[in-house]
Structure 1
Amino acid sequence: MVTNIFIIILYVAAFVLIQRRISKLIHEFSASKHINPTRTSLVSKFISLVLFFVTLSMMAISLGIGYQDVSLFVSSAFAVMGMALFAQWSILSNLTAGILIFFMFPYKLGDRIKIIDADVDATGILEEVTLFHLLIKLDSGDTITYPNTLALTHPVIKLTQQHTVPLPTTAPAAVAATTPSEADKVQA
């Protein structure tokens, strides 16, 4: 009984230490990439949940709680995750793609992107990246939600920001005749 309590304490301590370290690494990574804090929190919670189930399974095996029962649970979980990786339209595949996008997507919020897709013109400003989809504000002003799995399977182009400066309404001769001292007086 004492050894079981010791094993439980050991696994809980290991879980807490590893979870804090992973969470710290995720937050440092997101700060360096300027990733939205809400998205960082969601990814951190998801990875903590996966780590919790792995720790729970290992603890159950160590305590001798039916290896067959634990292995059935673990193999079922891996089967679901495997299907999520290959089933392109499922919710789980979007969640998996959202985690991959968090770590590997080279674009930041506010970037102007174009996703090459024959069915829809997804050209606009990247407003938000969630665990399930991207929010892109189109040039027309509409906002589109684009599934994460499609963002990973289609080419994405980062378009250069084209800053347009309004042209002066005065005639070129009048602008040339203005000296810097007169321009300073006008601004004052």
Structure 2
Amino acid sequence: MMVQLGLITLLLVAYVILSRFLKSSVALLGRSKSVNEVRITYVSRMLNLGFTAVFVLLVCLVLGIGYGQLAIFFSSVFAVVGVALFAQWSILSNITASLIIFFGFPYRVGDWVKVVDKDDEILGQILEISTFHVIIQRLSGDVVTYPNSLILQKAVVRFDNKEAAQAMSQFKTEKEEAEKVKVEKGASLHN
């Protein structure tokens, strides 16, 4: 019994230390990528939830709860969660994509990007990367919320600045169209 208490105490100390290290590492990475504080907190909590599940599993093993009993418990939990999330698969995939984007997405808030999509031109500045969407403000001023799971599946082009993005746009802004009409009218008056 004393050995079990000692192991549980050791696991608890390791859990606290590693949990703090995980939280500070995520915060440091998030700040280096200029990520919103709310998003840093969200990612930190999601990872801490998984870390806590591993801790509880290890404590159960130290207490002598058999693999069979743990397997039945976890398979029951996963079955209930799986049935609950089956209808909302896209939500689960967007949450997972949100974590992938946090750690591996090469674009940041403020970058000018174009999502290569054959149906629509999604070209603009990233305003926010949230739990479910990447929010992009187009050149025309309207805002597009693009699902995280889809942006990982599409090619994304990053531009150095707004002018480079405008040069690649299929559509011209109203100001450019007005200048084009003005130039055409001036050319027809001289002829």
What band does the TM-score fall into relative to the shorter chain?
0.7 to 0.9
| SS in structure 2 at match of 1:108 | coil
Query: What is the CA–CA distance in structure 2 between the aligned matches of 1:141 and 1:77, rounded to whole Å?
Result: 45
Confirm or deny that 1:45 pairs with 2:45.
Answer: yes
Name the CA shift for 1:161/1:132 in 2 (closer, same or farther; >3 Å). Answer: same
Cα separation, 2, equivalents of 1:2 and 1:64: 13
| 1:36 paired residue number | 36
Question: Any gaps of 5 or more consecutive residues in structure 2?
Answer: 165-191
Partner of 2:95: 95
Aligned-residue sequence identity (percent) comes to 38
Alpha-carbon separation, structure 2, partners of 1:36 and 1:145: 17
Count of aligned pairs:
160
1-structure distance, mates of 2:7, 2:26: 28
RMSD: 2.7
Name the SS for the 1:90 alignment partner. Answer: helix
The runs of 5 or more residues in structure 1 that have no matched partner are 165-188
* 1:168-183 → structure 2 map (5 Å cutoff): none
Q: Which has the larger radius of gyration?
A: 1
Partner of 1:127: 127
Cα offset, 1:74, TM superposition: 4.4
Q: Is the 8 A contact 1:127 1:136 kept in 2?
A: yes
CA contact under 8 A between 2:8 and 2:62: conserved in structure 1?
Answer: no
SS in structure 2 of the partner of residue 106 of structure 1: coil
Runs of 4+ in 1 over 6 A off after TM superposition: 76-81
Scaled by the length of structure 2, what TM-score is found? Answer: 0.73
Q: TM-score, normalised by structure 1?
A: 0.74
Q: 1:163 to 1:139 in 2, by over 3 A?
A: closer
